[in-house]
Amino acid sequence: MAAGAVLGAAGTDGTRVQTAPGGERPGAMEPAEGAARTLPSTGRVSVAGRISGAGRLSRGPHLRKLSGRLGVSPSGRALPPGSQENADPQKIAFLLRKQWTLYSVTPLYKFSSAHLKDYGRQLGAFIAAEKQKGLAVEVGVELGIKVAVSSLPGLKGSDQDHAAVLVQLSLKSSASQKKTEEKLIWSGWFCCVAGDDLSLNVLEDFTCLPLFLANGAESYTSLVGSWFQKTFDCCFRRLVISPLILTWMAALWTGYKVDKTSSAVELVFSVPCLPQPLDISYAIHTEDAKALWDTVQKTPGEITQEEVDVFMDCLYSHFHRHFKIHLSATKLVKVSTGIASARCDGIIKFLQSQYIIRVLMLLTELAVAQIQ
Amino acid sequence: MQRRQSSKHSKHVHDSNQTDLSAWRKERSIDTEKTVQNQQSPSDDSEHNSLEKALRFFEKVQDRVSLKKSEVLQKHLSTVESIGLQRGLPPEAFDTLLTVALSGKLADTVNTRLLKSLVPASVIPETSVVSSVSWLCVSKCTGSIQLLFLRWLITMFDFIDRKEQLHALYGFFFSFLYDDKLCPYACHVLYLLTRKENVKPFRVRRLLDLQAKTGMQPHLQALLSLYKLFCPELVNITLPGKSKTYFKNSEAPWKAAINTVRRRNQANSPVSQALCLGTAQPQSRKRKWNTQLIVPVSSANAQNLVGNREKNCVDLYSTIESFPVEQLQTFTQLLENIHCLEFPSQMGSVLANPLLLHYMNCIKDESIYLRLYYWMGQTLQEECTWCVVENNQYEQEFKDFLEIIYKAECFLQEGFSSCEEFLCRSLPLWDGLCCRSQILRLVSWIPLSSFSEMKSQICDPLAQLFFTSSLYFKCSVLECLKELLQNWLNRHVVQLDSESDNQFHSLNTTLSGLVNGIAELIHFVGWISTVALRLENNCTFLLYFILDFYEIVCDMYLKYNLPLLIMPPAGVFYPALLSMDSVSLNHLCYIMYRYRANLVAAKENELNKKKTQQFKFSSQTYQEYNQYIIAMVGCLWTSSAFQKDDHPQGVRLDEELLKQTGVQEFKNSFNIVYHPAMMGYAILFLQQACPDDTTFNFSLIKGKKWNWYLEYLYAQGLKGLKLFVESSINRVSQASQNKAGNVEV
């Protein structure tokens, strides 16, 4: 939010469009001036646009509904009702507001949830051994890393889904010998929400937990990941999110109801082929975005690629009207809404516990697509 | 020149890629000296001999020999040096060489050079180290050699095969602490050796005394802190915080050589390297933590651990029946333990291990393939050098990986499904250069069932690249498609053999599916061949590969029991018939002979078996064959070129037009005398048959001479022509030159 350029414009249809610097600072109004001022050559341009004439921006009359066109089709799937009910709210809360790096994981061979405690012990021993490797001369330092592997009940979409598995590494402070003083240094979890596409195709000995989310230093991710790869003959791969999927997320999450007014919908675009990186941040009030989406989306519970495209095109044309920038020529790199935020490099943050399952369902689908 | 005529047995075509078991056994034998030797080319035998001679010399050397005066010593010393530093010394060399170096028989310059070249190829036997310590204790050698030996010992510590007896010598090493010069290195050795039971009050006292005398030395501190770690109650002093450099670096003289040897061994065999040297993973880039192209073999311990937890046993294997895969080194071991063998924890490690591939061949378990499928699919996608931009610097590594996959496919005689999927995804993006031969070889293992499904994903990009790339690329594509066809046919034959056991049928296509798939492939190759011959001006080299392909096609009925024969398109047949060189013509003759044999056999079978067969060759095939054979006999034999060819693309010209060209006797111009590919033979024949005639009067070759000429051609190796003439041309009588071809089938 460094750029100070203030861009203002009046909607041609007479509706007032207020723009202000600082993505999440609505209200700081500037008088409409007409043409946009020039952009700074580097840095970020933040625009908070208020779309009031959403109705006029809606699509033409003869749109055809396409379904299942996208490899990932979040459309037409009945959501598991109340699947989160038996989830421990505390554990769910733990997952919120953290940055999780996404990985896809191939099915685990001979994994058994009956042995989670043993796995924790073995993983702890493995980490201790790896940590001491190459430190022959460094003696007397105890690496008190405690590993806990537990199950996260409730985080599933259907009965076929395996219960999510949480791995936590915490540091035992050696100075004070008190057991209570454990500092959580890394956590990661495996989950599968409505991953039937994968689960149905594998054999008995395999456990499908195709999505892995890690928070903490990558060195620990690598240790834990290596151990799982060695022990359960699986394969981890970073899961990146394509711009196309990001538009889906933007549309989907905009459509979800949020209790109270939450932060704006923010889309970050990166302009390619510039000597210096230039990011454009485009923030829209949640209720405006929702209003726009509601006019675009026709059948409840079913979303088509075309609707997503129309939604994005509306946002693009609105932006173009004021700033003469074609956002469609840039690359969408981040979507952030009140539900969750996602980055193209595969980092996600959950913000609303009630929608975590739905977000995970989409992510599971992405992970399965990467595996198959 | 000579074509292979005897029908080679289809199943053995890939022998060259099958692993030779005996070689494997030798290679993996515990005798690691042999490992080194066997991996080298035969030219290294001489080196091996000279090393043996050098060792014998050093064994016998008694008195002090002057290096300057003795050329023998110079020679043997440089042998040991060059072998030691380049490829490492075999285990049995160490005893002799250490004894010489430490016994003080020779000058210190020699001893130093010897010690510096003592780099192991695999391991160092513990006994040789123990005996050298005893030499050290009798003080026959000078202080500098003692010092160098300790540094050597520290550097090579991890290469010593066992260390039990070495631990028993703890006290001897401890005594070296009193030598000021040796002290830092002795400390380092002790640091490596110390176990809890070695920490004794008297040793702690000695160390503290030393420290009081010499001041705070980092090496003493290191040993003391280790003692304190084991027995805190014995060491009361407070030691300063951690310091990173307790010991001086000892490995300098050997570092480069160790790396050289390691790289060498690694290049020769990625599997045996890890086993022999006992070192960790080959340190490739670790740009990503989760990609490992060559996975080391290790037991599936985790499940075992869980199972044994209640018993709380320390020794993993004491209660487990299974044979640890790490120890599997010979084929005999495989046979003896096959009942209690378990696959390694990561299936990916099976690929580069022929013994485990054997095992995989025996065990029909779907989970094996599924594990391999996931791992390989992910790794291929992640590491593909043209799909992932950052990977392009790792092309060699990826190449090696593809090579390993290909070899495993040859071994198992089947393709991996993750590989097909990878090819489907990546071929459209392929530039045709990167890892070319590896990719094309992988294409040759795509199973027929998936090929039909993915024809457009495989063939379209291949055809595009084919038309726009060099002659060599075209040839390699044709070669790989030939392999592909051959693999399908082999599989079909194997399936026919084992038709009784129903194991196979589910996986594979029906006969009609097979026939359609193969026909599709042959038509595809016919099409690209026709275009390529135009593009490359009927290049002989290209024609060779095309005809090679048709050599398989023409024999599918007899050799592979497949009810399908497809004639080459005119765009291939005529360029071969009118080719400028005899190799192609001879090749074509052989192919036409085989077509005839197959078609005749098919017709006979049809007549014999009255029942209607599911598959019949269409009359069109016979028609095409007859058109070709009429044209061919007309050209080569009956001297009626341009007349008898009724193929729409055939060699037929209007008589008027031919007259206008002014060529005399144009009808002859493609017979076996005048044909541009044969004229050279005709000249040589005339020189021998009529040495007096210098006019090269080709018309002399007729009657008896015609037969002589034929014999001459056969003797020149034109066996294809011989078979063709004998089978397809009905000569009225051998004596008569009256040429009449009854060629209709």
The answer to whether A110 faces chain B, any CB pair under 8 Å, is yes
DSSP state of A113: G
pLDDT at residue B140, rounded to an integer: 81
The pLDDT value recorded for residue B264 is 73
Average pLDDT, chain B: 80
- pLDDT digits over B34-53, tens only? 444 444 444 556 777 888 88
Rounded to an integer, the average pLDDT of B544-558 is: 96
Local structure of A187: helix, strand or coil = strand
Minimum distance, in Å, between the CA of residue B242 and any CA atom of chain A: 7
Q: How far is CA A211 from CA A59, A195, A208, B520, in A?
A: 36, 10, 9, 41
Given this model, what pLDDT does residue B380 score? 92
Nearest to A139 among B225, B305, B370 (CB): B225
Residue A226 has pLDDT above 60, yes or no: yes
A211-216/A182-191 β-pairing: antiparallel
* The pLDDT of residue A175: 57
Span of B202-211, B248-257, B589-598 with lowest mean pLDDT: B248-257
pLDDT of A368 higher than 70: yes
Q: Is B508 exposed, middle or buried (0-12, 13-18, 19+ CB in 10 A)?
A: middle
pLDDT over 90 for what percent of chain A?
Answer: 49
What is the structure's pLDDT at A84? 56
Strand ranges (E), B632-682: none
Please state the rounded mean pLDDT for residues A86-112. Answer: 90
Question: Distance of CA B21 to CAs A33, B25, B36, B338, B357, Å?
Answer: 84, 6, 18, 16, 12
Query: What's the one-letter identity of residue A106?
Result: T
Quick one: closest CA in B to A109, which residue? B371
Per-residue pLDDT at A78: 40
Best of A137, A141, A226, A232 to substitute, by most chain B Cβ atoms within 10 angstroms, is A137
Contact B290 A225 (CB under 8 A): yes
Determine the residue among B303, B316, B350 to mutate to test chain A binding: the one whose Cβ has the most chain A Cβ atoms within 10 Å. B303
CB contact under 8 A, B374 and A229: no
Task: For residue range B261-300, list pLDDT tens digits in order.
Answer: 877 766 554 333 333 332 333 333 445 666 667 777 787 7
pTM beyond 0.90: no
Q: What ranges in A63-183 are assigned the alpha helix state H? A: 89-95, 116-132
Question: CB contact, 8 Å: A115 with chain B?
Answer: yes
End-to-end CA distance of chain A: 40
For residue B582, what pLDDT is reported? 94
Does A83 have pLDDT greater than 70? no
**Secondary element (H or E) of residue B75:** helix B71-86
CB contact under 8 A, B302 and A232: yes
**Average pLDDT value for residue range A281-306:** 90
Q: Tens of pLDDT along B182-230?
A: 888 898 889 888 888 888 889 988 888 888 888 888 888 888 888 888 8
Per-residue pLDDT at B301: 58
Instruction: Specify the pairing of strand A43-49 against strand A278-284.
Output: parallel
For residue B565, which of B552, B574, B577 has the smallest C-alpha distance? Answer: B552
* Torsion of Cα atoms, B129 then B130 then B135 then B138, to 10°: 150
CA distance B612 to A188: 67
pLDDT digits (tens, 9 = 90+) for A319-361: 999 999 999 999 999 999 999 999 999 999 999 888 999 999 9
- Specify whether the CB–CB gap between A319 and A78 falls below 8 A: no
Of A109, A118, A119, the CB nearest to B367: A109
Task: Please count the other Cβ atoms lying within 10 Å of the Cβ belonging to residue B344.
Answer: 23
Q: Over the stretch B429-482, which tens digit does the pLDDT of each residue have?
A: 999 999 999 999 999 999 888 787 778 889 999 999 999 999 999 999 999 999
Element (H, E) at A343: strand A340-343
Is the complex ipTM higher than 0.95?
no
Task: Locate B5 and state its tokens.
Answer: 């005529």
CA distance A345 to chain B (A): 15
Helix (H, G, I), strand (E, B) or coil at A167: strand
CA distance A116 to B348: 25
Of B306, B346, B370, the CB nearest to A202: B370
Distance from CA of B371 to the nearest CA of A (A): 7
Say yes or no: A269 contacts chain B, CB-CB below 8 A.
no
* Torsion region of B611: left, alpha or beta (phi above 0 gives left; psi -120 to 50 gives alpha): beta
Per the CB < 8 A criterion, the answer to whether A228 and A234 are in contact is yes
Q: What is the pLDDT of residue B361?
A: 87
User: The tokens 């493609």 sit on which residue?
Assistant: B670
Rounded Cα distance, B204 and B209, in Å: 9
Q: How far is CA B616 from CA A115, B176, B231, B510, B516, in A?
A: 62, 91, 89, 16, 13
Among A108, A109, A133, A223, pick the best mutation site for testing chain B contact (most B Cβ within 10 A). Answer: A109
> Which residue has tokens 């310059």?
B109
Give yes or no for A220 touching B (CB within 8 A). Answer: no
What's the token pair of residue B625?
A: 């064959």
The torsion angles phi and psi of A310, rounded to 5 degrees, stand at -65, -45
Partners of A119 on chain B (C-beta within 8 Å) are 302, 306
Task: Pinpoint the alpha helices (H) of B117-251.
Answer: 126-137, 143-156, 164-168, 170-175, 183-193, 201-214, 218-230
Q: How far is CA A106 from the centre of its chain?
A: 20
Distance from A137 to chain B by nearest Cα, in Å? 7
Which residues in chain A are contacts of B230 at CB distance < 8 A? none
Task: Give the E-state strand segments of B454-601 in sequence order.
Answer: none
Contacts of residue A365, defined as CB under 8 A and 6 or more positions apart, other chains included, come to A72, A74, A194, A195, A197
- pLDDT at residue B581 is higher than 60: yes
Measured CA angle at A351 (ends A348, A357), to 5 deg: 75
Which of A115, A122, A233 minimises the CB distance to B345?
A233
Confidence of residue A217 (pLDDT cuts 50, 70, 90): very high
Interface of B with A (CB under 8 A): 191, 222, 225-226, 228-229, 242, 244-247, 289-290, 298, 300-303, 305-306, 309, 345-347, 366-367, 370-371, 374-375, 377-379, 381-382
Is residue B694 pLDDT above 80, yes or no?
no
CB contact under 8 A, A237 and B382: yes
Phi-psi map region of B260: left, alpha, beta (phi>0 left; psi -120 to 50 alpha)? alpha
Q: How many CB atoms lie within 10 A of CB A278?
A: 19
Question: What's the pLDDT at B16?
Answer: 45
What confidence score (pLDDT) does residue B439 get? 95
The answer to whether A79 touches A366, Cβ cutoff 8 Å, is no
Q: What is the pLDDT of residues B121-167, one digit of tens each?
A: 888 998 999 998 888 888 788 888 888 999 999 888 888 888 888 88
Q: Do B225 and A140 touch (CB under 8 A)?
A: yes
Residue A298 CA to its chain's centroid (Å): 25
Residue B114 and residue B252: Cα distance in Å, rounded?
15
Distance between CA A267 and CA A81 in Å, rounded?
A: 30
Q: Pairing mode, if any, of strands A340-343 and A347-350?
A: antiparallel
Nearest CA in chain B to A210: B374
Tell me the two tokens of residue B263: 């790289």
Per-residue DSSP letter, A36: P
Please list every residue in chain A whose beta carbon sits closer than 8 Å to the beta carbon of residue B378: 106, 235, 237, 371
Nearest CA in chain A to B371: A233
A188, A214 in Cβ contact below 8 A? Answer: yes
Give the residue from B311, B371, B391 with the most A CB atoms within 10 Å of its CB, the best one to mutate: B371
Query: For A223, which residue in chain B has the nearest alpha carbon?
Result: B289
* Range with the poorest average pLDDT among A78-87, A178-187, B372-381: A78-87
For residues B727 and B725, give the distance between their C-alpha atoms in angstroms, rounded to a whole number.
Answer: 6
- The pair of structure tokens assigned to B590 is 């052989």
Give the one of B300, B305, B375 whose C-beta lies nearest to A118's C-beta: B305
The answer to whether B346 touches A233, Cβ cutoff 8 Å, is yes
pLDDT at A202: 77
d(CA A169, CA A128): 12
Give A285's contacts (C-beta < 8 A, 6+ positions apart).
Answer: A26, A48, A50, A264, A265
- Encode B209-223 in three state secondary structure: HHHHHHCCCHHHHHH
